[in-house]
Amino acid sequence: MRALCARLCDMWLIPIIFVLLLISGTAFAYLMGAVSVVTFIAVGKTQFLSILPQRIFAQLDVFAFMAMPLFILTAEIMSRAGVTRSLIDFAMAIVGRFRGGLGHVNILTSVFFAGISGSAIADSAALSRTFVPEMKARGYDPYYAGAITAASSMIGPIIPPSIIMIIYGGLTGASVAALFIAGVVPGLMLAAALMILNAIIAHIKGHPGGASADLPRFLPSLLNAAPALCLPVVILGSLVFGLATPTEGSAIAVFFALMAGQFYKGLNWRMIFDAVEATARMTGTIFIILAAISVLGYLAGQLGWSQALATWVDSFGLTGTKYLFFLVAIFLIAGMFMDTPVALTLLIPLFAPQALEQGISPIQLGIVLCFNLCVGLITPPLGKCLVVVSALTNLNYWRLAYAALPFIFVQVLLLLALVYWPAISLTLPRLFGFSVN
């Protein structure tokens, strides 16, 4: 017990040093690395500093991580190819005629866009400038338009390809292909739940539907959107039928994106260079965070944090579903304040081992935690998607957050369902022969 108390006292050094460096304005990755190194010195573990480079390289030397820059590059190429308008037209042709049609179109476009970008923030940035002014012009409350845009953008990281699922798979060793396939049903359920809520609100507030004469024709819009719609089919098909690993699938996706880009408005070398540059910047940001967190993870192992946490969890009798609900609360709070990759790399090494030891499926755990962090993206006080939509549309942040509350409520209900019924996320991977244990 005395040793346990000593370890817990050591843990107080981290938040103190963290707060001091945070006030100084240090970037997060450097902040975490500095905190870890200083704590090594403070607790008398300096003899372990010499092998930190080896630990960092071991953290980054994961085959699954190779898929991440290629999927990011795919999204950058497709966004520069002008694919957004074709996806909106196709969604409008399908659901635009119903009451609250533009709300439905917003959600369905996010579903289509999810198969390209894999990022909630990218989706909200790409769609808010298009949908919010258009919905406002059609008689919608601009805050409702902004709220539904932010809420539907959360579909992006759930439906494959997903950057955060690749990070989770790399950190835990879970199959990225199984995670991708497991995300399909929850992503579509989220889209359906948001559409039902939009239909109810549209009926109450009398939102308009599109006149048939104003809607794009179905067949031409389908043909125009076909290259973009085929991209997620190509990725998932290669994984489901064992034709490629996620990393090989990401390379196929880049090639397909280059071909699709020529179909839309033609890619020039400048566009490709800009896409590669943006990919390098984003990938570098993620990898330096992973490197810094690997140092913190090594420190946690040396100080016995995992054992201390396991003892603490056992003392409260948190096992199985109860432990998952506990993680939901922790990750929901983290998602409100932290970037999703940061929260994932910081918390997974601490909390995932205990869940896996209890027999919780790593695939279900991955879907629940990734979904969980994404809910935080539209939850105040610092929901990143709300911040993006507010900044791009000049809407008051707090009024926008208030308008998003009904959507947050629906997403939390679906999150609890994912915890309580594992079959929602595990049935499809099992059907295609993937191991979920």
pLDDT at 413: 92
pLDDT tens-digit series, residues 86-141: 777 777 777 777 777 778 888 888 887 777 766 777 778 777 777 788 778 777 88
pLDDT at 130: 76
Q: At what angle do helices 269-303 and 340-357 cross, to 10 degrees?
A: 40
Which residue is associated with the tokens 């480079």? 53
Q: pLDDT band for 14, please (50, 70, 90 cuts).
A: low
Measured distance between the N- and C-terminal CA atoms of the chain, rounded to whole angstroms = 34
pLDDT at 149: 87
Radius of gyration of the chain (CA): 22
| Calpha distance 402→384 (Å, rounded) | 15
Q: Do 56 and 291 form a contact (C-beta atoms < 8 A)?
A: yes
Q: From the centroid of its chain, how far is CA 127?
A: 17
Q: pLDDT band for 193, please (50, 70, 90 cuts).
A: very high
Query: Residues near 199 by Cβ (< 8 Å), separated by ≥ 6?
Result: 98, 99, 100, 104
- The whole-model pTM stands at 0.80
Of 106 and 25, which is predicted with more confidence?
A: 106
Query: Residues near 263 by Cβ (< 8 Å), separated by ≥ 6?
Result: 81, 227
| Calpha distance 190→372 (Å, rounded) | 13
Q: pLDDT band for 7, please (50, 70, 90 cuts).
A: low
Of 251 and 239, which is predicted with more confidence?
A: 251
Q: pLDDT band for 309, please (50, 70, 90 cuts).
A: low
- The segment with the largest mean pLDDT, out of 61-70, 193-202, 228-237, 255-264, is 193-202
What's the average model confidence in pLDDT over 428-436?
82
Q: CA nearest 12: which of 33, 35, 30?
A: 35
Is the previous residue joined to 161 through a cis bond, with omega within 30 degrees of 0?
yes
pLDDT tens-digit series, residues 351-405: 888 888 888 888 988 899 889 888 888 887 777 788 888 888 888 888 888 888 9
